[in-house]
Amino acid sequence: MRQNKVLTNYDRLNDHELSTLAGGVVLALTGNPNFPTPTPTLADFTALVDDYRVKLDVANRKGSTLDFSLKKEAKEALQIAMRKLSININLTADGNAPMLYSSGFPLGAQPQATQSPDRVLRVLVSDGRQSGQMRLDFEPVKKAREYEYQAGTKPEGSEEIVWGNILNTTTTRANVIPVTPDEIYYVRVRARNGKGIGDWSEVVSLRAR
């Protein structure tokens, strides 16, 4: 059996996917005792994530040649940092699956002896068509019969996510989550089939509009 490892190459992610995943990694590593001294440091990595998100937003709104050039430069810097950080995560965890999952990075494919579904990857949340709605999309999992997802919030002054009820769906695209505008929501997904339930995906977040 191959050693468990998180993925280290994120060059194929689009702008939104990269922003969502990188933000999830920041949330997962903040206060994480499994990785107290990651390389690059969490502060440096967070700065790169914030810089990329700012320049991505400017490029999407203004769209000038300079704006897109600055966004591309920030994206490349973030991709390099994610590669270095994920390699460091793999070295530190040394194949320990719970530690790897706690990093926020997606794990590489690993055959499951129990034949339960693999972990759901590329979970994306975005604004719904109307205020008070959030759209959920994610990558299909082979042999999954259905999926379960949860949305949660953090009470004021707390770092713990309070999860809502588990909801079920058979589709991986355009799932609608009812939300309260201007509140930050955290979302996770897992697959299930006749053999069991897969692990929860990485947690992604978005401020509802």
∠ CA 5-97-112, nearest 5°, is 85
Q: What is the pLDDT confidence band of residue 113, given thresholds at 50, 70 and 90?
A: low
Q: What is the pLDDT confidence band of residue 130, given thresholds at 50, 70 and 90?
A: confident
**Per-residue confidence (pLDDT) for residue 170, from 0 to 100:** 93
∠ CA 30-100-40, nearest 5°, is 50
Residue-wise pLDDT tens digits, 16-70: 999 999 999 999 999 999 999 999 999 999 999 999 999 999 999 888 999 999 9
Tell me how far apart the alpha carbons of residues 42 and 38 are, in angstroms, rounded to a whole number.
7
Residue-wise pLDDT tens digits, 143-187: 899 999 999 999 988 889 999 999 999 999 988 889 999 999 999
Half-sphere exposure for 191 (CA within 13 Å, toward CB):
21
Pairing status of strand 146-153 against strand 124-127:
unpaired
**Class (C level, CATH) for 124-207:** mainly beta
**Per-residue confidence (pLDDT) for residue 190, from 0 to 100:** 96
Residue-wise pLDDT tens digits, 68-84: 999 999 999 999 999 99
User: How many angstroms separate the first and last alpha carbons of the chain?
Assistant: 45
Domain definitions of the chain by residue range: 15-102, 124-207
**Per-residue confidence (pLDDT) for residue 114, from 0 to 100:** 52
